[in-house]
A = this chain, B = another copy of it.
Amino acid sequence: MTISVSSAADFHVHLRQGPMSSLVTPHVREGGFSLAYVMPNLKPPITTTEQALAYKHDLEKIDPRVHYLMTLYLSPELTPDEIRKAKKAGIVGVKSYPRGVTTNSDGGIESYEVYYPVFEAMQEVDMVLNLHGEVPSDASANVHVLNAEPTFLPHLFALHAAFPRLRIVLEHATTRAAIEAVKSCASTVGCTITPHHLALTVDDWAGQALNFCKPVAKYPDDRQALRQVIKDGHPRFFLGSDSAPHPSHAKTTCATDHGCAAGIYTSPILLPLVTELLDSFGALDKVEGFVSRFGREFYKVDKLAPALRDGDLAVVLQQVPPERLQDNRVPERYVSADGQDVIPFWAGRGIRWEIVKQ
């Protein structure tokens, strides 16, 4: 059995800098994707048009086969003027990180109202606001990693009400509450879903640092809500892998007073992985909508980059027969030129779909 997927687009990916970037950027295409929506949480974060264009140039040098859509990091330096400048330069979105909730988010935001002039400008020029939808933990208010996303949702509603024409994407949704929240919004609010959140629950990262990511995978009932909205073919829910490479030592060796690095790496296996997952819950017919059409329509990619309309990548995937499953295993690790090794999701596990043509 084979399926064909046109112009797969990953609407949330971390492509890093330096030797790590050289390692992971080509994995986008290797994983079956021709478009990458690139996160700006570098060190230092991408806060200006110039930085974003320079970063895009770096990525194109590493692998020119992929179309990179660039983003800025929401911070006090960002002005309405910079937004208009960024838009003209082809930058697509602005990513907001609450302070301290994930990798390189120390410069994240604490309150949204101070950014309303920026959002006003984004709405005016039709840029997209990407929300990492978690509030920081606060033991005194019983806020922790498992309710950080539901606790964030009032911020989503407030932003959507204040800027009804601003396109907003709630990134990497993990809870039934988030799915319902996005569904209840108007057509300007979309939502990305990662493959690992379709696979994991809290039981899988309990004592297993390699499966630790932010937002953390939640309860089985939440996972079911994520699966169902994809099965329903809801056009405002689409793939954003949040593929996030970390050297394995940062994932598994950590001091007792702070946690290991959050992040799961899926880029090199992304399309086979997503296909296996959707197949596992009876949504094989939704693969193309989820990984390509819905996101591209929400982001108006054809308008942004007319060149992408024709002649773009069409990938054919084939089901791996059981007898060949053990030969089709995810690599145990990928190693950068400077010796950083990254352990991918499902390392060593046989994967049920493979790319046969791209």
A interface, CB within 8 angstroms of B = 137, 139-140, 142-147, 201-212, 216, 219-221, 223, 252-254, 256-262, 343, 346-349
Asked whether A201 and B139 contact (CB < 8 A) given A145-B206, A206-B212, A207-B209, the answer is yes
Provide the residues of chain B in CB contact with A259, threshold 8 Å.
204, 206-208
Majority-rule SS of A interface residues = loop
Query: Most chain-B CB neighbours within 10 Å: which of A140, A206, A209, A254?
Result: A206
A207-B261, A210-B256 given; A146·B146 CB < 8 A: yes
How distant is the Cα of A216 from the Cα of B208 in the complex, in angstroms? 13
Q: How far is the CA of A44 from the CA of B335 in the complex (A)?
A: 42
Q: Given known contacts A140-B220, A252-B252, A256-B349, is B211 in contact with A208 (CB within 8 Å)? A: no
| Minimum distance in angstroms from A239 CB to a CB of chain B | 22
With A206-B259, A207-B209, A254-B208: A219-B348 Cβ-Cβ less than 8 Å: no
- CB pair B145 A203 closer than 8 Å: yes
In the assembly, what is the distance between CA of A257 and CA of B209, in Å? Answer: 11
Q: How far is the CB of A358 from chain B (nearest CB, A)?
A: 26
Can you give 5 contacting A-B residue pairs, CB < 8 Å?
A139-B203, A142-B220, A144-B220, A208-B260, A256-B349
A-B CB proximity, top 4 nearest: A207-B259, A207-B212, A139-B220, A207-B260
Contact pick for A203, options B144, B207, B261, CB 8 Å: B144
Docked complex Cα distance between A253 and B207 (Å): 10
**Contact assessment for B347 and A144 in the assembled complex, using a CB-CB cutoff below 8 Å:** no
- Indicate if the CB atoms of A202 and B144 lie closer than 8 Å: yes
Q: A142-B221, A144-B203, A202-B145 are in contact. Are A349 and B257 (CB under 8 A)?
A: yes
A344 — nearest CB in chain B belongs to which residue?
Answer: B256
Give the residues in chain B near A343, CB-CB below 8 Å: 256
